[in-house]
Structure 1
Amino acid sequence: MKNLPAMLRRILLTLALLLLALELASPPGLAQGDLSVYGVRPGMSSEQVRKALGTPQVQQKDPAVWAYRRERQGVRGQDDPAVHFDPSGRVFFVTGSRLEREGQQILRRGSSLPDMEAALGEPSASQPGQGKTVLYRYASARLTVVVAGNPARVVVFGLGDEPRP
């Protein structure tokens, strides 16, 4: 390192510090790969959603929300994916009971808190209480996980910015 010119040493040191800062900014487990709920993530087009989930199976009052039946027959529940589109036709929020990274399931409804923390790291924030909500930041997207029960188990995942009522 002593043989390197001073300017090159400064550039390498700056680059190393920048990479360290980027690594520390992301919680462990969230630094690599894309997260999705049933293969859907914010920013996808309606055509990409159709490719991942098919045609919506549940009629909604709001045409910007597509709902599907996945886990069981009959009444729609939290296990079933729901996809919310913005006015430009892009996904801004998706909910469901299966969380994936790069197409591989990493968590599902019923996963324990230790399993969740092993897969995602420590949450960015948490709202205690019945139906506790745990928040993770992943790049520019939000991952919201609702947990309930004793011992606490995952109920549903929400990826993206939640719709406003």
Structure 2
Amino acid sequence: MKRLIFLYVRDKAITDDLTQEVFIKVFSHMNTFEHNSSYKTWIYRIAINQCKDYFRSWTYRKIIFNPFIEKTNDNTPEQILIREDEKSLLTQAILSLPIKYREIIILFYYNELKMKEISNILQVNESTVKTRISRARNLLKKKLGGVYLE
């Protein structure tokens, strides 16, 4: 869950806040779950909506973030892993994709969800999911200079 949110917002502090907000929403709305899909799909949908809400928020649009300021020097295993992922060529290429292609790649390859689950989470047709995966792969091929890592 945290990885999914981080790949949307690209900031550790905001990722922590949004992850906490997602779990608070899940807990407070557990009784409204209609069992039309799995819990996993429902929680991913909440997380993605929370990220999109953040992008529409005043905070995101008005506060300028300076990425050159080092926040903390924490060396937890999770932070080390995130730093290593950020440095990899593939991760940078994925993060540079438009959001609709980035979320498809994240859900399909990182979270290993099936096409049907992704279509439920994003509330689009399965054929749209397949098309976006294909287009995202082509964009990644171009960005990686023909070296396609799957």
TM category (shorter chain) comes to under 0.3
Larger Rg: 1
What is the TM-score normalised by the length of structure 1? 0.21
Report the structure, 1 or 2, having the larger helix content: 2
Between Structure 1 and Structure 2, which shows a larger proportion of strand residues? 1
* Alignment TM-score, normalising by the size of structure 2: 0.22
